[in-house]
Amino acid sequence: MSDQNNQPFFNIQRVYLKDASLEQPNSPGIFLETEMPSVEVEVDVKAEQLAEGVYEGVVTGTVTAKIKDKVAFLIEAKQAGIFDIRNIPTEQLDPLLGIACPTIIFPYLRANIADLVTRAGFPPIHLSEINFQALYEQRLAQFAAQANGAGSNDSDIVLADSAPTQH
C-alpha cells in the first residue's frame, strides 16, 4: 500500500434539506398585529455512521416567533450532509462530526429558514452565526456532568432574541 491510501480524507458528498415544517396557527389574524414578534431559536446537532467511512450530519433548527402570547409561526428544519471521512484518528472523528460538519451545513439551514419565513409572509429572519466549537465543548461538559450524576439531559442550544434580525 502506498502512503496515499492512508492519508486523512474528508469530502462532502451531498448537502440536502432532510425535513422542513411551517406552522402558522394564528394566521391570518396575526398579520394584523403591529408589534414585532419575539423570536426563540433552538439548534441541535446529530451525526451517525451510514457505512464504512460515510457519515450523515444533521443540524436541526427550530424557530418560534410570538407576538404577545400568540404564536406567529413555528418552523422546524433539518439540514443534512453526507460526508466521506477516512483515515482520521478516532479521537479526532467526534470533533470533526460535531464541529466541522455542522459548520458546513449551517449556512444552508440559515438560507432555508430565511426562505420559509419570507414565504410565510413575515419579514426575513437571518439566524446568527453559531460557534459550533463552543457548542461542542458545552455538550462535552454536559455529558461529563451527567456521567457524574448531575445536570440536565437537554443538549439543545437555545438562543433568544427580542426581535428578529432583518436584512
Q: How far, CA to CA in Å, does 61 sit from each of 27, 32, 67, 125?
A: 22, 27, 20, 13
Residue 153, pLDDT > 60, answer no
Cα distance between residue 77 and residue 79, in whole Å:
6
Residue 159, pLDDT > 50, answer no
Residue 142 half-sphere exposure, CB side, CA atoms within 13 Å?
12
Strands of 24-69 (E only): list them. Answer: 38-51, 54-67
C-alpha cell at 81: 450532509
Cα distance between residue 144 and residue 147, in whole Å:
5
Residue 146 pLDDT: 86
pTM as predicted:
0.82
Percentages helix, strand, coil for the chain (3-state, rounded to 5) are 30, 40, 30
Using pLDDT thresholds of 50, 70 and 90, give the confidence band for residue 164: very low
Residue 91 neighbours by CB under 8 Å, 6+ apart: none
Residue 156, pLDDT > 60, answer no
Measured from the Cβ of residue 57, the count of other Cβ atoms closer than 10 Å reads 25
Q: In sequence order, what are the beta bridge partners of 159? A: 41
SS3 category, 72: strand
Q: Does domain 15-141 have CATH number 3.90.650.10?
A: no
Q: Which helix (H) or strand (E) holds 108?
A: helix 101-119
- 125-141: per-residue pLDDT in tens? 889 999 999 999 998 88
Residue written as grid cell 425535513:
19
- 7-63: per-residue pLDDT in tens? 999 999 999 999 999 999 999 999 999 998 899 999 999 999 999 999 999 999 999
Residue 163 pLDDT: 43
Using pLDDT thresholds of 50, 70 and 90, give the confidence band for residue 155: very low
